Amino acid sequence: MNPRRLSLKGAGAVVFLGLLFLGFLAACSVVRYTPGEGDLAAAAGDLASESEDTRESARDILVRGRSHSVPVLVKLLSDPDENVRYRALSVITRIGPDAGGAVPGLVTMLKDPANPFPSSTMAALGRAGKAATAPAATLLGEADEGTRYWAVGALAELAKADGKAFPSLIYALGDDSPAIRARASDALVAAGNGAVPELVAAAGGTSAYIAGEALDALRRMEGRDAVAAVEKLDKAAAAAGPAVAPAGGAADAGAEGETVLEELPGLDAIAAEREAGLSDFAVADLGAEGIPQSDAAVASDWLRNELLAGGKVTVLDRSRMEQLLAERGPRRAGCTREDCAVELGKLLNVRRMVVGSYGKAPDSYTVTIRVVDVETGAVVYGATGRGKSPKEMGAAIRKMAVKIAEKK
C-alpha cells in the first residue's frame, strides 16, 4: 500500500470531519442565538424602512425574539404611522402564543372604532393563546357592535386550542346583531365535537333565544356526538309538547316589515356586455351615514361573508386588503363612490371593486352598493336595500350578494 496515498486519505478525512464539526457549531450558534435588546430595538425601527428587504429582515429578528420582542412591538401599536402599526400587528400574529404580553394593547385597539386594522388586530388577538381568552370575552360586553363582532372572530380562533372560549361564543348567540350571532354560530359549528356539550346545555337553558340558536348550530354539525344530541333534544321536545315562544323572542323575528331591494335600472344591460364576471374582486369598507364607522365595517364584512358563502366568486380577504394598501401606497381615508374605485382596485390588483354606504334614517336602515369594473371604470351593477331592522338589512345584503354573484 502506498503510504503517501494513505496519508492523503487520512488528511482528507480529518478536513472533512473538521468542516462537519464547524458546521455543527455554526448550526448550534444559530439555534441558540436570541436577539438582544439593542437588536430588537433596531429591528423595531427598521419596520418603518421603505426597503422591503430591510423590513423582512427586521420581522425575522423580531419573530426570533419571541416574547422578548413584545415590549417594543406594543409601543409600535400606537405609532403615528399606520403602516408601522400594521407591520407590528403582523409580527405579533407570527409570534403567536408567546405574544401574551401584547393582549392588553390588542384589546385596547379593538375597543377603538377608529382602528384602521380591526381584522388584523383580531387575528393577532386570536393567535395570542390562552392568555387572550378572558380579555377577548370581556369585549362582548362593549356597546360598539363592531368591537363585539371582532371579539367573536378572535374567540373563534382561540376556541381551536382553548375550550374556555366556548361559553363566550354561546353568550354571543344571544347578541342583538345577526352578524355577530352568525359568526359565533359558525365558530361553534367549526369546533365540532368539542363544542357539543356547551351547545347541548345552551339548547336546554333558560334563554329561549340562545336555545334556538344553539339547536340550529347542532343541526348544522355532522359529527356523531352532535347528531346524537339533536335526536335526544328532539325526543325531549316531542315529549314535552308544543312550546309557546316568549314575546319578542325568536318566533317574532320575522314579524317585521318586508325587506326592500331596489336595483338600479339599465345596469343589467351593461353587465350583460361584460365578457368576465366577478371571479376576483374586493369590497371596500362601506361609508357610514348617520351611524358609527364600526357599524358600517360590520356591514362590509357581512357582504364579504355572504359573497363567499355563495361559493361562486372569490373575494379578497380584508386583512390582505389592509396589507396591500399598507405596502403599496398611502392609506386612503375612504372610498365610497365610483371615482376612486378604479384607483383602489388597481392598488389591490383585482378586476372589480364593490363600493357604497350604509346608514340609518329615523325609521329605517339603508345600504347602497356599486360594482365597478376596474379596467373600464363602468358600473356593472348597483342596488339599494332598505329595512327597518338589522335583521331585514341582513336579508337585503344577502340578496345583493346573490345578485352580484349572478353577474359573473
Residues 364, 305 share a domain: yes
Do 303 and 236 lie in a common domain? no
All three cell numbers of 199: 351547545
Please indicate, yes or no, if residue 368 is contained in any of the structural domains.
yes
Question: Residue 150 in contact with residue 175, Cβ under 8 Å?
Answer: no
Is residue 15 assigned to a domain? no
Could you tell me if residue 1 is inside a domain? no
Radius of gyration in angstroms for the set of CA atoms belonging to the chain, rounded to a whole number: 27
- As a whole number of angstroms, the distance between CA 212 and CA 226 comes to 15
- 139 and 76 in a single domain? The answer is no
**Three-class secondary structure of residue 400 per DSSP:** helix
Claim to verify: residue 264 and residue 402 sit in the same structural domain = yes
Distance, in Å, from the CA atom of 60 to the CA atom of 66, rounded to the nearest integer, reads 10
Domain limit, last residue, from 102, 125, 148: 125
**Inter-residue contact 173 to 213 (CB < 8 Å):** yes
**Are 67 and 109 found together in one domain?**
yes
Q: Do residues 297 and 388 share a domain?
A: yes
Q: How far apart are the first and last CA of the chain?
A: 80
The predicted structure's pLDDT at residue 249: 36
Give 130-169 as a DSSP string: GGGHHHHHHGGG-S-HHHHHHHHHHHHHHTTT-GGGHHHH
CA atoms within 13 A on the CB side of 100: 9
Beta strand spans in 93-240 (E): none
* Three-state DSSP state, 287: strand
Q: Is position 17 within any domain?
A: no
* Angstrom distance (rounded) from CA 341 to CA 336: 8
- Residues 300, 394: contact at Cβ < 8 Å? no
C-alpha cell at 334: 375612504
Facing residues of 382 across strands?
370
Distance of CA 194 to the CA centre of its chain: 22
Q: Is residue 12 part of a domain?
A: no
Q: Give the span between the Cα atoms of 18 and 159, in whole angstroms.
A: 50
Specify the pLDDT at position 274: 35
Residues 320 and 383 in one domain: yes
SS3 content of the chain, % helix, strand, coil (to 5): 65, 10, 25
Q: Which of 197, 199, 187 is nearest to 151 (CA)?
A: 187
141 and 104 within one domain? no
**Residue 313: alpha-carbon gap to chain centroid:** 18
Domain CATH number, residue 265: 3.40.50.10610
Query: What are the angstrom distances between the C-alpha of 217 and each of 34, 55, 98, 187?
Result: 46, 43, 32, 9
Render 356-384 in DSSP notation, one character per residue.
Answer: EEEEE-SS-EEEEEEEEETTT--EEEEEE
Q: Is residue 329 part of a domain?
A: yes
Q: Strands 379-387 and 352-360, how do they pair?
A: unpaired
Domain co-membership, 148 together with 114? no
Q: Which domain holds residue 73?
A: 24-125
Q: Which helix (H) or strand (E) holds 261?
A: strand 260-263
**361 and 264 within one domain:** yes
Element (H, E) at 110: helix 103-111
Instruction: Please check whether residue 217 is in contact with residue 187, taking contact to mean a CB–CB distance below 8 angstroms.
Output: no
Q: How many CA atoms lie within 13 A of 315 on its CB side?
A: 23
Q: Are 140 and 169 found together in one domain?
A: yes
Which pLDDT belongs to residue 85? 92
Number of structural domains in the chain: 3
Query: End of a domain among 219, 253, 287?
Result: 253
Domain stops at, among 228, 253, 278:
253
Q: What is the CATH number of the domain that holds 49?
A: 1.25.10.10
Q: Looking at the domain assignment, is residue 232 inside a domain?
A: yes
Is 197 contained in some domain?
A: yes
Query: What is the pLDDT tens value at each position of the chain, 408 positions in all?
Result: 555 454 545 555 555 555 565 565 554 444 446 788 899 999 999 999 999 999 999 999 999 999 999 999 999 999 999 999 999 999 999 999 999 999 999 999 999 988 888 888 999 999 999 999 999 999 999 988 889 989 999 999 999 999 999 999 999 998 888 778 888 988 999 898 899 999 999 988 877 778 888 888 898 888 888 889 888 888 877 776 544 333 333 333 344 445 555 554 434 433 333 333 334 678 888 888 878 777 788 888 888 888 877 767 778 877 777 777 766 655 454 676 766 888 888 888 888 889 988 888 777 888 888 888 888 888 888 888 888 877 788 888 888 888 887 766
Q: What is the pTM of this model?
A: 0.59
Amino acid letter, 177: S
Same domain, 379 and 308: yes
